[in-house]
């Protein structure tokens, strides 16, 4: 899952996208988790509801990063990968304020 997420950095944001040419946030996490044998819905809210919140100090690479209407994948050391928006596409970046970490 982690290797897949890293390999998608630079792909464009596509509303409703699940790859390979582009992703939206929940399509990106859905596809990455499928690599680990976990089926997730294509909805950030539905994915968030399946996970339990943990503290940032408990976070491990592969945990979900959840915000209002948004999901990404925690990569360790306070960093995440997500399909942010049309401007950024799939990016590797610092966790920002307003996000929580959740574990499936």
DSSP 47-82: HHHHSEEE-GGG--TT-EEEETTEEEEEEETTEEEE
Q: How many domains does the chain divide into?
A: 1
DSSP state of 8: T
Mean pLDDT of the chain: 97
Q: What is the residue range of 89's domain?
A: 2-103
Query: What is the set of active-site residues?
Result: 25, 70, 82
Kindly report whether the global pTM for this prediction surpasses the value 0.85: yes
Which CATH number do you get for residue 41? 3.90.1720.10
Q: What is the pLDDT of residues 66-96, one digit of tens each?
A: 999 999 999 999 999 999 999 999 999 999 9
Question: b/e string for 63-84 if b means 16 or more Cβ within 10 A?
Answer: bbbbbeebbbbbbeeeebbbbb
| Residue 47 · residue 30 · CB < 8 Å | yes
């Amino acid at each position: 899952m982690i290797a897949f997420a890293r390999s998608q950095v630079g792909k464009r944001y596509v509303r409703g996208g699940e790859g390979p040419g582009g992703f939206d946030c929940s399509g990106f996490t859905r596809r990455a988790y499928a690599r680990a044998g976990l089926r997730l819905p294509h909805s950030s809210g539905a994915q968030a509801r399946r996970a339990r919140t943990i503290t940032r100090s408990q976070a491990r690479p592969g945990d979900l990063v959840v915000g209002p209407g948004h999901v990404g994948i925690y990569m360790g050391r306070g960093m995440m990968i997500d399909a942010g928006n049309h401007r950024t596409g799939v990016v590797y970046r610092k966790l920002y304020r307003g996000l929580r970490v959740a574990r499936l």
